[in-house]
Amino acid sequence: MTAGTLGIAFAGLAWTALVALLTWLASLARHDVSLVDRVWPVCIVGAGLVYFALLPGHTPRGLCMAVLGTAWAVRLGLYITWRNWGHGEDRRYQAIRARNQPGFAFKSLYLVFALQAVLAWIVSAPFLPGVATAKPLGWLDGVGIALALFGIFFEAIGDAQMARFKADRANEGRVMDRGLWRYTRHPNYFGEACVWWGLWLIAMAGAGWSGGWTVVSPLLMTWLLLRVSGVRMLEEDIGERRPAYRDYIARTNAFVPGPVRDNNNNNPKPS
């Protein structure tokens, strides 16, 4: 990475930091730290668009990555905003707030917002080598584009199915195990991971192994989805709050879609 490219990389970090700071100020007024979830896609793809704007030459690969990233960010950002509108602070952030009193208003600046800014900057890494190379598009680009598109649609379908399920008052208290949710407990998270593995493949197609270091992006995103703010946090006590969910866990994969298991012997059963 040259000195010029490094400067452009830090311009991406400046973007994520600015968005995080403004959102922190808004969270103080709203008493709602979960606003950070709404701007998470904006932080990531905004950094990618900074790279796209500052690097010379808008190549087909860079344009593909910008379009895919923007489509992912707009869809996810609007969905999270719509889903959370009028519901106040998410219970996960309420728990963080309770654990870090007194003075959480200031502590949230570095515990939540600065941390999210750095994580978003790291996740945006594939955009940097991806938009910088003028190498013609090849078969690996095709694989990456297909995987990213699959992830966007898989995640969107999963979210739409869950929204429709929750909108039906007859489903109150029931566990969503239909559609994509029949084969994975978190189709939205699986789709999300596919997006970032796809974008990384596109970056690799252009930069070769010199861009291999950006694998930190999909690895970090997958780790966050599985072990930090995703599956682990959401399911930490859900079996106690909703006993029917324990049966759902026993028969359904957590992340990668797979066949439904028989609760009695854990063998796959026909769908």
Average pLDDT over residues 177-183: 95
Residue 78 phi/psi, 5-degree rounding, is -65, -40
d(CA 98, CA 226): 24
**Three-state SS at 134:** coil
Q: Residue 201's pLDDT is what?
A: 97
- Residue 147 near residue 131 (C-beta atoms within 8 A): no
Q: Provide the pLDDT for residue 271.
A: 42
Among 21-30, 50-59, 121-130, the range scoring the smallest mean pLDDT is 50-59
3-state secondary structure 193-260: HHHHHHHHHHHHHHHHHHHHHHHHHHHHHHHHHHHHCCHHHHCCCHHHHCCHHHHHHHHCCCCCCCCC
Please state the rounded mean pLDDT for residues 245-257.
Answer: 91
Tell whether the model's pLDDT for residue 69 goes beyond 50. yes
* Residues 100, 1: Cα–Cα separation, whole Å: 39
- The percentage of residues in the chain with a pLDDT greater than 90, rounded to a whole number, is 74
Contact assessment for residue 243 and residue 233, using Cβ atoms and an 8 Å cutoff: no
Position 56 confidence tier, pLDDT thresholds 50, 70, 90: confident
- Count of CB atoms situated within 10 Å of the CB of 88: 12
8-state DSSP, 261: B
- The overall average pLDDT reported for the chain is 91
Query: Tell me: the pLDDT tens digits for 95-134?
Result: 899 999 999 999 999 999 999 999 999 999 999 999 888 8
Q: Note the pLDDT of residue 5.
A: 79
Q: Which of 115, 258, 261, 133 is nearest to 204 (CA)?
A: 133
Among 36, 206, 190, CA closest to 119: 36
